[in-house]
Every structure is written in C-alpha cells, then in structure tokens.
Amino acid sequence: MNVLVVGGAGYIGSHCVRQLAAAGHNPVVVDNLVFGHRAAVASDVPFYSVNLGNEKEMGKILRKEKIEVVMHFAAYAYVGESVTDPLKYYFNNVAATLHLLRCMLGSGVKKFVFSSTCATYGIPDRMPLVETMPQAPINPYGQTKLDVENALKAMAQAYGLSFAAFRYFNAAGAAEDGAIGEHHDPETHLIPLAIDAATGARPPLQVFGTDYPTPDGTCLRDYVHVDDLSRAHIAVFDKLATPGTALFYNLGTGTPTSVLEVIRAVEKVTGKKVPYVTAPRRAGDPPALYADSTKAQTELGWKIKFASIEPIVETAWKWHAAHPKGFAAK
C-alpha cells in the first residue's frame, strides 16, 4: 500500500514508518517538524514538510504519491498544556484533522488510521478498560481525540470513510536495532526521565504521588512497546477494504506497572541507581489505566512481542545510551 504517514517524524509515527517499509509497504511522510525530527526518517522515504491543515499542498501530495491510506499521528499531546492552552489543542488536534479529512475525501482517499488515546476514558471506575466502556475525558487533550473519533464515526456513515481509531496506552521503548527512539522536547515521560536521572543527565526523578490507592501507592500504567503499536496499524489494513468500516481498538499489554516498578526496571537494565524524590500528585493523573486488548488480538491477530516492562526499557536504554541527546546529537 502507498501510505501517507502524517506526523511520520514524531515518536510513534517514525517507528511506524520503519515497520511499514519492513512489511513491504511504501510510506510517505508529512511532518512540519514542530515536534518531529528529520533524522528519525530514513533519507529514502519521500518527505514533505507541510502543515496537515494545508489542503492545497496535502491534496497535491495525495495525488502525486497515489496514496491509498492515511495514518495520522500529528497531534499535540501534553495534557497539562492542553488545560492552559486549549485553543492550540482544538486547532491542531481537531480543526487541522478536519482539513486533512476533507482533503482526503475530496481526493478520493477513504482509508484512515487515527491515533487516539486511553485519555478518552477519563477516570474509569473499572479496569482493565474495554472499548465499550464510557468515554469521559478529563482534559482538553483527551476531549480533542474523542471529538475526532466522533467525527470519524459520522463520516464513515455519511461518506463511506473506513477508519480504525487506536486508543494507545503508554507508548514506550525504541527500535530494537537502536536506530531511532523517543526524543520529546520538553520531555515529560517517565521512562526517558528515569533513564536520564540514572545517567545524571537530568536531576533526580520526581515521583508524582505515593498515596494512590494502588499496591505501592504510585500510579499504574500500561506501557506498550512502540513497535508493537506500529504493527497493529499495519494489521488493520485488510479490514479497511469495506467502505464505511468504523473500528476502535485499545492497544496496551494489559499489564499494570507502577512508577516504582518502572524505576526498578530502569535500575536493573542500566545497572545504575535512579535517584528520585517524592512529589505531590500531578494534576489530571488517573490512579490506574490499563487495557484489555482482546479485541485487537482476536480481530487483527495483533501479537504483543514486548509483554513486560524490562524488555521495553532495554530497547529505550539501547537508544538513550547511544544517543544521550536524542536526535539533537546528530
């Protein structure tokens, strides 16, 4: 398939581009490089630095590259910032996405794969999460993702758009060969911050909240390897052949892992202590979020290769050890 990967120079998008190429597809990347890294995309992959909301330019790319399916990873994803600057999130995550969809439909491209999030569930009252549970986001970031999910549903009915929306849990890790990895600026994610605390590249880690109603008092999350996520995106292609298909899948391993367990895994893998201090709870953090991904496994044949935290951290460490400044060092 000729696949347009919007946000293909970002963390998850760039890993998906490599998986697409490995599976024999033809990825084409669009990324405005606000958060993406040019070096995360191989030089033989067609690359366009364009805003996804630019319908004129995007239309040209769709036609020139004979695109059959669009994957959309280009969103702002800082929960805290979405609370302080919601307009930024609604414009980029919702309005720009609607431009992209209108452009696709106008160009006759009707297959779409969307990056959604477990943040659409808000603070669930039961765990693990299945796709049919109520969605009640508690911040604008999650709301923008849910708004797009709902728009997609309507467009599937009205225009025959076929789509899959993947609700990611905590994407983590790096390419197994160490070629690309996670580099956010600013970095807010637990695993890269814990690794940097271990190496001394950053100050001691702050553990946000030790009084949660969880076994060790710290938050439970479902860390899922970025290449496992990517493989689900490719496994869904066959399902998009029928016009009007609307699919929603949770993507997580189903294993809850606490912040302290992540710290221990980083210590084991790196052989270094992770200095940390306890800090107050971070606003908007649900105590526990983990997935039931039975639907993706049974319907897509999705196989989780990295089922526990240590092998995930091993891949992250391989990348960080070789690229202590991420892509900036290149």
> What are the residues binding ligand UFG (CB under 6 A)?
77, 79, 117-119, 141, 170, 188-190, 193, 205-208, 219, 221, 259, 282, 285
Query: How far is the C-alpha of 211 from the C-alpha of 114, rounded, in Å?
Result: 35
User: How far is CA 178 from its chain centroid?
Assistant: 19
Assess whether 141 carries a catalytic annotation.
yes
Closest to ligand UFG by CB, 109 vs 251, is 251
Smallest distance, ligand UFG to C-beta of residue 118, A: 5
User: How far is CA 132 from its chain centroid?
Assistant: 20
Smallest distance, ligand UFG to C-beta of residue 68, A: 28
Catalytic residue among 11, 76, 89, 141: 141
Task: Select the residue whose beta carbon is closest to ligand UFG and give its number.
Answer: 219
Q: Report residue 163 as tokens.
A: 């789509």
Q: Which residues contact 24 (CB under 8 A, 6 or more apart)?
A: none
Closest to ligand UFG by CB, 92 vs 170, is 170
Closest to ligand UFG by CB, 96 vs 190, is 190
Q: Which residues contact 126 (CB under 8 A, 6 or more apart)?
A: 133
Bridge partner list, 277: 206
Closest to ligand UFG by CB, 147 vs 237, is 147
If you ran DSSP here, which 8-state letter would residue 204 be given? Answer: P
What's the 3-state SS for 117-160? EHHHHCCCCCCCECCCCCCCCCCHHHHHHHHHHHHHHHHHHHHC
Closest to ligand UFG by CB, 117 vs 135, is 117
How many CB atoms are closer than 10 A to CB 294? 15
Smallest distance, ligand UFG to C-beta of residue 149, A: 14
Smallest distance, ligand UFG to C-beta of residue 151, A: 19
Query: How far is the C-alpha of 283 from the C-alpha of 82, rounded, in Å?
Result: 12
Bridge partner list, 14: none
Smallest distance, ligand UFG to C-beta of residue 34, A: 16
Closest to ligand UFG by CB, 223 vs 237, is 223
Q: Report residue 6 as tokens.
A: 């919007």
- Asked whether 14 and 31 are in contact (CB, 8 A), the reply is no
Q: What are phi and psi of 167, to 5 degrees?
A: -95, 100
Bridge partner list, 205: 276
Q: Report residue 226 as tokens.
A: 């970025």
Torsion of CA 6, 133, 170, 142, to 10 degrees: 60
Smallest distance, ligand UFG to C-beta of residue 222, A: 9
Active-site residue numbers? 141
